[in-house]
Structure 1
Amino acid sequence: MELPPNNFKRALSERRHQLGLWCSLPGAYAAEAVAGSGFDWLLFDTEHSPGDPLTVLAQLQAVAPYPVSAVVRPASNDAVLIKRLLDFGAQTLLIPYVQNAEEAKAAVSAMRYPPGGIRGVSGVTRATRFGRVPNYGMRAEEELCLLVQIETQEALDNLESIASVEGVDGVFIGPADLAASLGHVGDPGHPKVKALIEEAIARIGACGKPAGILTPDNAFAARCIELGTLFTAVGVDAAMLVKATEALARQFVRA
């Protein structure tokens, strides 16, 4: 049985833009419902959602038959959480709150087996097709993709050193936390925040790494793509559900 290809990683390496949707609803049913909507990747979040490794497992299983890539965000840059998600079959991880090169290196180490890293070894996991993928331990790294998230002024100050870490496949900008770090909590659309994001996209590109972002602002999303983001999430499932249901209710609620 062959090692499944990581189409998301290959697209980034070929400089093909990947359009994404942020999935904060933890259910497999919701994940499957959006899996065929036309996005290139879905982000399954366990940092700012009720999701956990077990709900992610169900989501990975639900979307597996669809032509969409799964990206998973662990709750933190934690080697145990990373190990579990990789064993469950996640191939692309987005690690939150990476502040410097040392933290980026720790994430790389958690993604790799010894001697290049510290990932624990188990031969009978979903990632190995329950032991059916020949030489999984030697080949896993080929299809694993590590994205690191910068979301503070400190991370921006260290951007080049973070992006230059060998084993980091992409750098993702987190506008909400970045805005808070800059004194504009709740206002990721502040002109200063947007200007720093635009500058960061260029800086990431200059390091030779793909840049990514999440923004529900369609105009700014288009601007980021124009500037060179290669993986751009343009909506959050829960927010879209809230807005659509409120809009529907307003059509029928009397003033």
Structure 2
Amino acid sequence: MPVPKNDFKAAISAGRQQIGLWLNTGEALPAEIAASAGFDWLVIDSEHGPNDLRSIIAQLRALAPFAVEPVVRPPSGETWFIKQLLDAGARTLLIPMVDSPEQAKALVQAVRYPPRGTRGLGAAVARASGFNAISDYAQTADDEICLLVQAETRVAIDNIEAIAAIDGVDGVFIGPADLSADLGCLGRIEAPEVQGVIESAIGRIIAAGKPAGILTFNETLNRRYLELGANFVAVGADVTELAATLKNLAGRYGRGPGAGPAGSGY
């Protein structure tokens, strides 16, 4: 029995737009709520979210019944952690701060079994193979692993075609926050000089034959990127949406940050 098909990987390869959301609570229950909302992909964030291997596994379990692709972002592209994530059942990885084709090539090696790569054999005792229920996991896993790499610096943008050209890189994701900082516009991703670089990079990624992705919390920008052809776009994060909604609710009753105690409640 082969591993299940990765519909997200097939969708972005075919040019079908996929709308995503960041998960930053580190908890399974909010992840399950987000999965029921109808997004195509959800990022379990271990770079800027309070996640370790066990909390990632808990969220993978929570998302498993839903028609949504869990995308796991580790803090960095360390081979040992990539191996653990894959064995834990993650099959789509988003690796931050990839500046060069050499880095991208090493990451491709890390997610593939020999002779195509260097991934260690151990999934027979791990969640990825259903604890060996998928008897030919090692023979079929490579084709369903989806490797997304983040371009977040001027160096990465300069190397964007070479990064996209690496066989086994399934998509290139622009990190606008870090990129804006590296361009001298810290906290101002809407700055024209930043947007010019981003829009050019999206076009260059697509021209190189790879899917382009991005995340912002700005709906106008997100829709613009979709118009430009970016086809895996994350449009928000669970914590920011929850915070905004709760502040709005409290404000409708004269409460909110700095409004004083809420009274006796119920």
Deviation by residue 1:188-244 (Cα, 9 ceiling, x = unmatched): 111111111110000000000000000111011000000001100000111111111
Q: Matches of residues 62-211 of structure 1 in structure 2 within 5 Å?
A: 62-122=62-122, 123-211=124-212
CA distance in 1, matches of 2:139, 2:2: 13
State the one-letter code of the partner of 1:237.
D
> 4+ runs of 1 displaced by more than 6 Å?
none
The answer on whether the counterparts of 2:2 and 2:137 sit within 8 Å (CA) in structure 1 is: no
Deviation by residue 1:8-57 (Cα, 9 ceiling, x = unmatched): 00111221110001111110011001101010000110000111221110
Aligned length: 255
1:27 aligns to 2:57 (yes or no): no
State the one-letter code of the partner of 2:135.
P
Deviation at 1:187, TM superposition (A): 1.2
Q: Secondary structure at the match of 1:247?
A: helix
Q: Secondary structure at the match of 2:127?
A: coil
CA distance in 1, matches of 2:15, 2:135: 30
> 2:264 is matched with which residue?
none
TM-score where L is the length of structure 1: 0.97
CA distance in 2, matches of 1:105, 1:25: 31
Q: Secondary structure at the match of 1:171?
A: strand
RMSD: 1.1
TM-score where L is the length of structure 2: 0.94
> 1:48 is matched with which residue?
48
State the one-letter code of the partner of 1:178.
L
CA distance in 1, matches of 2:167, 2:38: 32
Larger Rg: 2
Q: Secondary structure at the match of 1:4?
A: coil
Q: Secondary structure at the match of 2:234?
A: strand
Deviation by residue 1:51-96 (Cα, 9 ceiling, x = unmatched): 1221110000001001111111011011011000100111100000
CA distance in 2, matches of 1:214, 1:78: 23
Q: Secondary structure at the match of 1:149?
A: strand
Q: Which region of structure 1 is more displaced relative to structure 2, 166-175 or 241-250?
A: 241-250
The answer on whether the counterparts of 2:3 and 2:137 sit within 8 Å (CA) in structure 1 is: yes
Unaligned runs of 5+ in 1: none
